[in-house]
Amino acid sequence: MSWKVAILTASDRGSRGEREDTSAQVIRELVEEEMQGEIIEYRIVPDEMDEIMASLIEITEYYQPDLILTTGGTGLGPRDVTPEATLKVIDREAPGFAEAMRMASLQKSPRAMLSRAVSGVRGRTLIINLPGSPKGVHENLAVIIDHLPHALEILSGRESDH
């Protein structure tokens, strides 16, 4: 089973072309190698609530991915608004993913408690916020990636026994 996955990066400098988006590349590699996912859409937007919301809505409606992984904008900085944008567009939360990532990250760094990442469902698409750094993306995604296929099977209606 190949999962359709979209990547949305929230980064002011990245959206202006001033910084290479290495975090999205880490997501791409893990998704393709670890869960046989196919990246069907990738975009980078500035840390603007309306642009993040619009992209999440457009990606779910037009591309209908099984999963959207966001990177960036989950910290305490004044322009870190990815969790708020995500909460405004999801139908319901699926907090276990964000909780598991924070718990595992706390074992490595006390700074993990600064993460405000959220996860939830819009339609039949699971949306999960990841940190902005390549190292943070790798560590967090590694915690949940083995559990994503089962979650996506349930969400898509392919698996009813859970």
Instruction: Tell if the pTM clears 0.85, that is, is over it.
Output: yes
Residue-wise pLDDT tens digits, 62-118: 999 999 999 999 999 999 999 999 999 999 999 999 999 999 999 998 999 999 999
What is the model's pLDDT at position 1? 67
Confidence of residue 57 (pLDDT cuts 50, 70, 90): very high
Enumerate the H helices of 46-133 as residue ranges: 49-58, 82-89, 96-106
Among 84, 104, 85, which residue's Cα sits nearest to residue 96? 104
Three-state DSSP class for 45?
strand
User: What distance in Å separates the CA atoms of residue 112 and residue 132, rounded to the nearest whole number?
Assistant: 12
Whose structure tokens read 């959206």? 15
User: What distance in Å separates the CA atoms of residue 67 and residue 87, rounded to the nearest whole number?
Assistant: 16
Stretch 46-65: mean pLDDT:
98
